[in-house]
A and B are shown apart, each in its own frame.
Chain A
């Protein structure tokens, strides 16, 4: 089945540590996105990538980094510079090209990150 897989589902991090969240898709989508979800605030865009080896900052990129070495993969690293990393993180993808530029995004099941 095609879809977006995020792992792990739950992640615990000690203060001062970097941690990487995985996102893999087999939908052959060009574009991929990372969102952060906090209670009462909806989802906010962290980073996005429209093509391999290219990515752009979203609205809340500080303290995060990404890479896009393969079309299928878009890992997110939460660095120690992120002051309040405890949140729910959602990865998404969309076709992102040509006449399908405006099709909707599909989401993974998310990773809950907790700083301990």
Chain B
């Protein structure tokens, strides 16, 4: 069975600074997908970024980038130039190949961006 672990329940960062959220996972699959979702106070789950395991290149979406280390089974999220609107719960999620939407989530990291 797959598991996803986020070891940082809470983090805070000053506005405009950079913060990195950690995620590790366990799987015997060789091909899979990894996601970071954001859940702001409205509780709407919003996709931040996705990574296909077969791709060596780390995914990037504007201020958000990942550090994907397949051998170490690590998938961290870096947020650059943090903004107040980045304040949210962040979830790391794992998906097996051809299992679209069947996600295994980590426990979440609550990020506070301070002015």
Interface residues of A, Cβ cutoff 8 Å to B: 31-33, 35, 40-45, 48, 58, 88, 90, 92-96, 100-107, 109-110
Instruction: Report, as a range, how many residues of chain B touch the other chain.
Output: 20 to 34
Contacts of B50 in A (CB 8 A): 104
Please measure, in the bound complex, the distance between the C-alpha atom of A70 and the C-alpha atom of B114, giving whole angstroms.
Answer: 46
Specify which of B95, B101, B103 lies most central, judged by the most chain A CB atoms within 10 Å of its CB: B101
- Cross-chain pairs A/B with CB under 8 angstroms, 15 sampled: A42-B105, A42-B107, A48-B102, A88-B43, A90-B45, A94-B101, A96-B101, A101-B98, A102-B95, A103-B100, A104-B50, A104-B101, A105-B101, A105-B103, A109-B44
Please measure, in the bound complex, the distance between the C-alpha atom of A80 and the C-alpha atom of B4, giving whole angstroms.
Answer: 31
Instruction: Decide if B105 touches A44 in the complex (CB within 8 Å).
Output: yes
Closest 10 CB pairs of A and B: A94-B101, A42-B105, A107-B45, A105-B101, A94-B100, A43-B105, A42-B107, A101-B100, A101-B98, A96-B100
